[in-house]
Structure formats: structure tokens, C-alpha cells
Structure 1
């Protein structure tokens, strides 16, 4: 049985993903999304930047990466020679698995294969001489996540098999060159436990339970497969607000499906998670079962009304700290007109220009509410206003016009949806995006494609998606107005 660092990383993030990668049917995998490819490209750029800045003189094994054991042997040879820095080396070790014997009475073998980004020579003692190596992981994240530390401990353990002593320390280099040292006294035991659990799961083919966590699961190539199972089971993870810890609490009192949660007497779980949370989860499940929305309060302050209303949405590239599209749909009820304005930065340097164009449009309608669907729009107005020297009074006036519909929804109404995203809410109301697969992540990929190729079709796709987001916000606002107005 082969356990690689990538498999262990999958297991640490999602046990089910590691299981399906090993035992699942390829027919049930969906193609990887463009955004994953973009993340890999960004990761490789980050690695190259670290190499150029900190480790310009490195050796790389010549053996192809798909020949794992042979590449590992070449890596050992390079370490024995005392090479200062080895890039994309390979570490391999095999040992018997003391779980069960096969039909011939033999213990199955566990093969461990790791690919540390760097192996760096440092002073010390090893079986090769007065030097040893420490592994260096180069990760795209901004903080040293537990899974990064598990992998670092994995590399340290494999390295110790070959050089003798454990490395004195293991380094993780994060985004922006931030460096982090891993405490092996703490993380080696955690690695061993994770490895043991992973091997038990995969050898005995214990399929982990489905748990849908959209933020974590959305990019996974097994998402459609797992989501179909969750729907068939009426799995509680489909209820907004059911976290893994709350799920365990609900299981303790025998609540296993959405329907059973909807019929729950809240006092059954109030002691475990508090009355307010228990009531919230029960009402959310009831809304899903009965397919109807419910007001959280009898009296709700009305949404602003105006002859002209603005619906605002942003497309942004976090990696570049860039807001490349500021989109607004202007709805003039008096004139019975509607128009979309898409202020697009065709080059990242144009961010300031589109900000000024946006401000000019907003100042044309000083009394119009600006509806948007997240706190991000407000924060962006603050950021761009300061960055490009917009007078404080102008910034404050624009912020006074802003109205966050997401905040309004989650505080005042329970909808029969599995997620309180704009796409989920507007889809429930019958709105359809013109490009079914469009998303914020895909928009970022389209923008990268535009910058790379200059093909205007990518700009058109982004503009169309952004306009649909603005119009979805409009649909949601109109429904909220009617819902709280009650019967005519």
C-alpha cells in the first residue's frame, strides 16, 4: 500500500476525499475546475520566487518524478555527496503494516513516499558526515495550517530514516516569504496518529461518512458524488448552521436527518448547544422540509424605497489585491428603465480609473440606495476611496447609501435553502445565470485568461456574470419587499 504526501494531505483535509481517491470510481469524478489549475500555477510561481531569492544554487534529481523509488535513491546519493540544496527531491521508505496478514500469512507492506520542495544542507552529524539535511516546504497559504505541519513532520520522519538523526527543525515558507518553524515534539506524534488512521481507513476500506462543507468541498472533484449521497440521506450537513461539532451533538440525541431535525423539540438539544442555536437549526430544517420561508421577527424595518435604485457587485482578484470590475445596475422606476454599467479594468493599472468612473455614477444618484450582497462591497469602497484619494465626505456619503442584503436576510428571514449565498437564494427564487457554471472563482480565471491572451470573450463572460449577480441582487430585494409587506 502506497501512502504519498499528497494522499496524506487529502486525508488531513477530508478523510472521504482520500478514500475516494484510492477506492472511488473515476466515472464519479468531475473534471477539475479552472480555479484549481490557477492555484497550482500560483503555487509554482511562489516556489520559483523563493528559489530565486533564497536558494538560487540548487540541484534537482534527473530521474523522472513518476519513478518514485529510483528518484528517491538518486536523492540519497545527492545527500551523501553533500549537495547544498536539493529541489524536488524524493524520500521513500517501506515497512510492514501490523494490521493483518494476507492470505499467505504475510504482512502487507506500507510504502511511504514524500516530495519535500527542498532539502537544505545544514551543519550537524549524519551517517554521511558532519552535515545533515532539513526539509523545507513552500506553501501558498498565509498561515501555517495543521496539514502543512503534518506534512513537514512526515518529511522529517522519512529523512531521519536515511540520515540517522531527526532534523533539528523543519521550515515552512509561506506567502510573502514568511517563515515558520515546526515543533517536531508536538507534530511528530500527530503525524503518526494521522498516518495510522489513514492506513486503517484505506486498508479496511472504511468509507468515511459524507459531510458537506461548501467552502471546503466546492472545489473538490468528488463534490457532485458526495452531494448526491447527502441529498439522498437527507444529511444534516445540508442544513445551514450545522457544523461538525453541532452534528455530533445532534447525533447524540438521535437526530440523524433533516426531517427529524425539523420535528425536533428544541429543549432536547438546548442543553448541548444553547436554546437560540437549537431553535435556529430546527427552524432552518423546518423551512427546508416545508419549502417555505419564515420571518424571524414579527416586526422588521422596511427596505429603503426610492424612484431610482442601484444594484452593485464587484469582481476581485485577491492574489493581486485588485478589484477589476465594479458593476452597477441602475433601475429607474419612474422612467421604467434599467441599465448595466460595467467598469472594467482591462489592465490592473486601471483600477483607479474605474473607481473614479464608479464614484461619478454614484454621485449622479445621491439619494438612491445601493443594494449589494456582502460586506466586501463596503470594505472595497473604503479601501479604494482611501487608496485613490477620494474626499472623506464623498466616501461617507457613498457608504451611507449602501445596504447589505445578505446581512438583512440572515437577520430577518429563514429561507428553504442549503446556503445563504446569493446564487443559492436567487436560484431558489427562480433566477438563472446565463452561464450556469459561472462563479466568482471562474471570473478570476477568466480575468487571468484575458490578461494572458487578450481575447475579449473573457471580458464579455466576466461582464455577463457580474450583471447577472447585480440582477440577482435586484430579484432578492424585490422578493424581500413583497415578503415583508404581506398579502396585498
Structure 2
């Protein structure tokens, strides 16, 4: 069986994924979504940008013939080539120190294909030089998963060249891209993780499902795992159940929605990952899911601190392109209840140079309604307005009164009620309330992809899709806010009755 760095990388993110990648039918993969395709394109462009400044040689061999690939790579190493791009190194013997007899490492072949093998002074089987591995990564920080992977490459390389390098390199996407990895620290950690990995893939059954949406959404096994989690009513589908909290709940035999809903919060308060605020909130969340109805949380904010209805209300949502650090669309829905009118304003930057213009257009609009609350969902809009004000040197007097009018519907809702939803994302909540987007498959990730395609193709229909999605987000925020106001008022009146 072949073990490569990609399997080891994905194992650190999800143990189940690596098992499925090795043992399951690849035809069952989900189709790659647009954001994943964009990330792959961006990574390719990032690599090409770095490699363009180096004189590299790449081993020539038939695709997938790793033995031929290693032979071609060894030939380049023997010649003392300065930079070898995507060399192939194979090791069939054991990589893990102090191996357990219960693990049969000899049935595995370890395949290493670092982005670069870099020639350095030293002694090796090739002569008065040696090689160190370097990987080109999209991240801006030297994450553990990156350092474990480069340590894997270094260990395989050490076996091939007869000497272990002391340092390996990560070429990151920041102002100081070259990061030296201390292999004396990371090779032992890599070996420990590799042992765990082999134990998992040698097991007769896949690891338990756990849905962690931010990590799972781009995975090609997501739909399969999600279907299993739904059929089991798995606790990971409950908002607030993190991997740490799930482990703690398992330890006290709280394994189902019903058992959690009937657990005394005091039992949970002192567990790792819980406290006096988290424990009762999570129990009510389970009760809400079990009863399939919204419930007031313990100790909600006073009703006077909950959002209100005003004569004129503004609903605000931003679309951004993270790679460009560009907030290209500032959408505002103006709801004038006195005149019974609604109007949506879409301030769109078609390129980076127009961001300042749309920022000023946004300010001009919101100052036309100086008393109107500005509703948004989550903190991004608030933080972005502060950042744009700083970036474009907007006077304090023009921004501070605007920020004081911001009302975060997400914050108010999550502090007040528990809903029978799997996520407190805007889409999940609004759809539970009956709101639908015009484009059923549209989401923030697709907008990132669409805007990237707009910049490449100039196809204006892509901008129209983004603008319609942004307007729907504003209207969904209004839908959630109106429901929250009515629900809180009704509950308050019932308690007074």
C-alpha cells in the first residue's frame, strides 16, 4: 500500500477522510465545488510564481510510474542539480522509530514528492552535497500540518541520500515567505502521527463520523458522511458540539440528542470545553432540536436590549474577495415603513481601484437616514467598515455615528434563543423560517469564484448573479430580524400574562 504526504496531510484534518481515501470507491466522491477549484487554481498560480524565479529541473517519467520517477530523480540528484521540482522518492522500509510489532510497516511504501529538492553543501551518498526538501504552501502561517508533511519528506529523503537534513523549508504566502522547519522537533512528531495513521487505516472500519462544517465543506466525502450523521442524529450536527466537547460527552455516556437534552447542566459545567454559560445553553440547544421548536435561552438579555422595529431600517451585507483583500460589493436594503417602500442599493467595485468609490457611496447613503438602525448578520460588516474607514482616512465624525447604529442580528439571536437548526449561519436560519434565495445553490464561496471568473472573462452575468445573491442576503437578514422581534415580544407577553 502506498502512503504519500497528501494522505498524511488530510489525516491531520480528518482521520475518517484518509481511511476512505485508501479503502473506499473513488467514484463516490462529491464533485469539486467552485471554491475548491478556485483554491486549486490559486495554489497553482502561487507555485508558478515562486518557481518562475528558480532554475528547476523536473524528472521525466511516465505518469504514475513511481519507480521510473525515482530513477529519474536519483539521476538528477547524482548530477548535483541545484533545484529539482517534484522529485519522486520511494522508501519501502520502516520510517517510524521504535515500531510496535503489531504494526506491519513492511507492507507499506512511502512516496515523497516535495515541491522542491534544494542542493546544499554537505556529505551524502551523491558526493560533497546533499538535498533538503521545500514545500510551497498557500497558508500565511507555518501550520502544524505543513511542518509534519515537510518532516515526512525529510525522513524519506534521509533514507535515500544517507544523511538527514537539519532543516527543511516552507515557502509561505506572506511578506517573509521562507520559513525554516526544525526537523529535530518535527520528525519525532511526524513519526508519532504516522504510527496513528497506520493504525487507523489498518482498522477494519472507518473512524466515526464527525461533521465540522468549516473543515468538511470542501471534502469530497462530505455528502456521504453527512448522510450517515443525519441517519444517526449525530451530536456533531448540533451547534455548539465541538470535537473536544463531544469527547467529554462520550466520557459520561451522553451519546444521543435525547440524553443531552435531559442532562443536568451542572454535570457538564466542569468538563473540559464547558463552563457555567456553555453547559445550560447546549442543553437547551438539544431540547430545541429534540422538540423541533425555538426556545428561549437561559438568562437572555433584557428585552430592552433586544433588537427593535424602526420607521426606517437599513439591512447591510458585503461580498469580498479575500485573495485581493477587496470588499467589492456593499449592498444596502432600505426599508421605509412610513412610506411603505423598499429599495436595494448595490455599490459594486468592478476592480480593486473602485473600492474607495463604493465605500464613499455607502457612506453617502447611510447618512441620508441618520436615525435608521443598520442591521447586519455577524461581525464582518462592522469590522470591515472600521477597516475601510482607516484605509481611506475617513473622518471619525463620519464613521463613528454610523458604527453606533449597527445591530448584529446574529449576536442578538444567539444570545436569546435556541433554534432547531444544524447551523447558525444565515442560510440555515432563514431557510428554516421559510425564506429562499433565488439561486438555490448560490453561497459566499460561489460568489468568490464568480467574481474571480468575472475578472478573467469580463462576463457581466456573473456580476448580476452576485448582486442578486447579495440582495437576497440583505432580505434574509430582514426576515430573521423580523422573526426575532416578534418571537421575543410574544414570549415576553406570555410570561407577563
TM-score w.r.t. the length of structure 1 is 0.95
Partner of 1:347 in structure 2? 351
Farther-moved stretch of structure 1 (300-309 vs 220-229): 300-309
Which of 90, 93, 99 pairs up with 1:92? 90
Q: Where has structure 1 moved over 4 Å in runs of 4 or more?
A: 96-101
Shift of 1:286: 0.6
Farther-moved stretch of structure 1 (112-121 vs 195-204): 195-204
Shift of 1:471: 0.5
SS of 1:95 mapped into structure 2: coil
Farther-moved stretch of structure 1 (238-247 vs 150-159): 238-247
Conserved 8 A contact 1:29-1:221: yes
Work out whether 1:128 is the aligned partner of 2:126.
yes
Partner of 1:446 in structure 2? 450
Shift of 1:64: 4.2
Shift of 1:29: 2.2
Farther-moved stretch of structure 1 (34-43 vs 289-298): 289-298
Partner of 2:464 in structure 1? 460
TM-score w.r.t. the length of structure 2 is 0.93
Q: Distance in 2 between matches of 1:132 and 1:60?
A: 17
Q: Distance in 2 between matches of 1:108 and 1:171?
A: 29
Q: Distance in 2 between matches of 1:326 and 1:162?
A: 55
Partner of 2:209 in structure 1? 210
Shift of 1:469: 0.5
Taking a change above 3 Å as real, the CA distance of residues 59 and 411 of structure 1, as seen in their structure-2 partners, is same
SS of 2:92 mapped into structure 1: strand
Which of 147, 151, 164 pairs up with 1:153? 151
Conserved 8 A contact 1:304-1:369: no
Q: Deviations over 1:440-468 (max 9, x none)?
A: 11100000111111111111110111111
Partner of 2:280 in structure 1? 279
SS of 2:147 mapped into structure 1: helix
Farther-moved stretch of structure 1 (182-191 vs 81-90): 182-191
Q: Distance in 2 between matches of 1:234 and 1:222?
A: 18
Superposition pairs of residues 302-341 of structure 1, within 5 angstroms: 302-341=306-345
Work out whether 1:434 is the aligned partner of 2:435.
no
- In the alignment, structure 1 segments of 5+ residues that lack a partner are 102-106
Taking a change above 3 Å as real, the CA distance of residues 252 and 448 of structure 1, as seen in their structure-2 partners, is same
Q: Distance in 1 between matches of 2:333 and 2:422?
A: 27
Work out whether 1:225 is the aligned partner of 2:224.
yes
Partner of 1:295 in structure 2? 296
Q: Distance in 1 between matches of 2:64 and 2:486?
A: 61
Conserved 8 A contact 2:308-2:485: no
Farther-moved stretch of structure 1 (460-469 vs 68-77): 68-77
Shift of 1:276: 2.8
SS of 1:419 mapped into structure 2: coil
Q: Distance in 2 between matches of 1:283 and 1:274?
A: 14
Q: Deviations over 1:31-84 (max 9, x none)?
A: 01111111111112211222234xx21111122452222112111111111111
Conserved 8 A contact 2:315-2:376: yes
- In the alignment, structure 2 segments of 5+ residues that lack a partner are none
Partner of 1:17 in structure 2? 17
Root-mean-square deviation over aligned CA pairs: 1.8
Q: Distance in 2 between matches of 1:463 and 1:280?
A: 36
